[in-house]
Structure 1
Amino acid sequence: MMSQLKNKGYAIYDYMETLKYEGIEEDYEALLEYFEYLPVDDYAPELNRYRRYSRALVLPASKNIEWLPNVVRDGREYAAYFQGKFNPEHPGSYREFHAIDPHILENTLLKKIIMADYEETFWGEEDMIMPIHVGVHFVKLEVDEEGERAVSSPDCLHQDGEPFTFAHLIERRNAEGGINAIGIPSVSGSQPEEVDEDKLHEVFELNRPLESYGVEDSSVSHYVGPITKGGGEGPAVRSVILIDYQLTVVADMDE
C-alpha cells in the first residue's frame, strides 16, 4: 500500500501509539526534561526561541545511526547547519547551533523516532548506496509575558530544501496559536490566511506528546504559526523535534 506521505506529499502520525514499547514513557520524560534547559537560539534571541541541533548519518544497508562530530568554539560544542536558499530569513547562510548532548543522542525513543521517520522516506535505488544525512533540531517556543509572541523560522508557508522533514511534538502547554498548515508549493512565502482555501491541503494543531507530521518537500509547503500565552499559569511552551533527511551529494567531477 502506498504511504500517505508518498501519495499526498504529507502525513500525520501518532508516534506515542505506533512506537509503543516498554520504557517509552521514561524515555519521553528524559526528552521533555532536556527541553527545559535548551539555550536561546543565538540567531534570533528576541523571538523567544530556544534550540539545539545535531547531525547524523543513517546507513541504508545496516539501518545504523552514526552521529557526526561537532565543532568546538570557546569550549562549547556546536553542529553546523546550511539552509541553502530556502529560508528567506537566512538565505544561503551557514549557521552553527549548540549541539545536543551525547546522553540524549543515545535516548532510545529519539533513535526510534529517527528510524521510524527514515522508514517513511523513499529514494531511488541508486541513492541507497550512500548514507542518508539526518539533521535533528530540538526547538522550543516559550512566551513568559502577556502580549509577546514566540515565532518559528521562517514565519510563513515555506519549503525547507531537504527532501523530507518531520515534526514531533514534545510538549504544548498554556499556548495559543501554533497552528500547522500544509499548502501547495506555489504559496510559499505567504501566510495561511492570505491563501485561497483550495490551495491549503490541511490546517491542524499538534496537541498530544509525539503527535507528528512529515512532508515531502518538493510536493508541499508547510507552516507553523507563532504562539502566545493562554489563560493558565506559567509560560506558554511549544516544544518539537524536527528531523530532516537528505542524500549524500557526490560532486560532479566534470564541472
Structure 2
Amino acid sequence: MSQLRKTGFAYYHLGELIQYEGVEKDLEQLQNAFDDLPPDEYAPHLNRRRRYARAVIMPGSHRVEWLPETIIDGQDYYEYFQGSFNPEYTGEYRRFPALTKETRANRLLEEIIRFDFKETFWMKEDALMPIHAGIHFVKLYVKEEGDVAVSSPNNLHQDGEPFTFAHLIRRRNINGGINAIASPKHRGKMLEDMAENEVMTTFYLEEALESYGVYDPLVAHYVGEVTKGNEEGSGERSAILIDFQPTVIANPDDIRSMLGDTTNMISV
C-alpha cells in the first residue's frame, strides 16, 4: 500500500524520479513561466500571482488533453470552483488567466501531471471516465522589506478535490513557506494555535521539484506566509499545484442544465 493511500500524505522528489534527455531545459522553461504570472485579481494585496489551466486524463492511456479556454475581452481564462471548501470564496466561481500554450506544451509539465495521476486511486465507477486535472501556477512574491505573501486559504484546509499535489519550481530569497499536514478535524485552524501532537508533520520544500501529495478526505494541509529574505532583490516561492477529480455520469437531479431555466445556458 502506498504512503498516500495509507496516511493521506506522501513526499516525493521528482527531480530524482523523472529523468529524460532535456529535462533540465524543460525545468528552466517552467521556471521562466513564473516570471510573468499576473497578480491574483481576487486578492491583489496578498502578493500572490497565478495562472491556471484545466485538462483531462484519459483512462488506460493516461493521455493528457487540455480543455479549451474561456475568452473574455480577448484574454484567455479558465474557470475554477471549490464549492464550500475555500471559506474565502464559498460558492464562488473564480476565473484565472490561462497558462500559455507554450507552457501547456512543456514535456516536463505533462510528465509531472502523469506522475501525479498514477499515484491516485479511485472507485471503479469513477475511473471509467476521464479524470479532470486542475493545474495551478502560484507564486508567492515579495518585493520589498515588510511585504507578506499569503496562500489561499490561509489556514489548515481541505480543497474539495480528492487529490492535490504540490511541486516546488523555485524558491529564492524568502523566509517562511512552511508546510503542515494534520487531521481533517483541525480544518480551519492556524498552525501556531495547535499543539505539537496535533500536527502530523511540518516541512519546507526547498529544492526544485521537491513535492508532496494529499488525499483530501484523510488530511488537512497548509502552507505558511512568506516574507522577503536578507539578500538584495525580490523573493518568491513558485509552485505548481495539481488537483484531480472524477468526471462521472451525474445523477439527473444534480445536473444544473436539467433545471429547465434556459436563460443563462450556452450553445456548444
TM-score by length of 2: 0.93
Larger Rg: 2
Give the equivalent residue in structure 2 for 1:115: 114
Aligned to 1:89: 88
Match of 2:177 in 1: 178
Structure 1 segments, 4+ long, off by >4 Å, are none
Question: What is aligned with 2:130?
Answer: 131
Partners of 2:252 and 2:186 lie apart in 1 by 36
What secondary structure sits across from 2:252 in the alignment?
coil
Q: Is the Cα contact below 8 Å between 2:126 and 2:248 reproduced in 1?
A: no
One-letter code aligned to 2:56: L
- In the TM superposition, residue 62 of structure 1 has moved relative to its aligned partner by 1.6
Q: For 1:250, give the aligned amino acid.
A: I
Instruction: Give the corresponding residue for 1:61.
Output: 60
Summarize the alignment of residues 30-69 of structure 1 with structure 2, pairs less than 5 Å apart.
30-69=29-68
Q: 1:254 & 1:132 partners in 2: Cα distance?
A: 22
Shift of 1:40: 0.8
RMSD of aligned Cα (Å)? 0.9
State the one-letter code of the partner of 1:218: P
Shift of 1:251: 2.1
CA distance in structure 1 between the aligned counterparts of 2:148 and 2:231, rounded to whole angstroms: 16
Partner of 1:150: 149
Equivalences for residues 220-235 of structure 1 within 5 A: 220-235=219-234
- What is the CA-CA distance between 1:223 and the residue it aligns to? 0.2
Q: 1:80 to 1:232 in 2, by over 3 A?
A: same
Secondary structure, counterpart of 1:29 in structure 2: helix
Q: Secondary structure at the match of 1:51?
A: strand
Structure 2 unaligned segments of length 5 or more: list them: 255-268
Aligned AA (1:88): P
SS where residue 251 of structure 2 aligns? coil
Q: Which runs of 5+ in 1 are unaligned?
A: none
Q: CA deviation at 1:46?
A: 0.7
- 2:18 is matched by which residue type in structure 1? L
In structure 2, what is the equivalent of residue 208 of structure 1? Answer: 207
- 1:19 to 2:18 alignment: yes
CA distance in structure 2 between the aligned counterparts of 1:105 and 1:77, rounded to whole angstroms: 13
CA distance in 2, matches of 1:219, 1:119: 19
Matched with 2:165 is 166
The whole-number CA distance in structure 1 between the counterparts of 2:129 and 2:25 is 34
Residue 253 of structure 1: how far off its partner (Å): 2.5
The one-letter code matched in structure 2 to 1:15 is: L
C-alpha separation in 2, matches of 1:90 and 1:126: 30
Letter of the 1:221 counterpart: A
By how many angstroms is 1:254 displaced? 5.5
CA distance in 2, matches of 1:127, 1:237: 37
> What is the alpha-carbon distance in structure 2 between the residues aligned to residue 253 and residue 232 of structure 1?
57
If the length of structure 1 is used for normalisation, what is the TM-score? 0.98
Query: Structure 2 CA distance, aligned partners of 1:30 and 1:216?
Result: 29
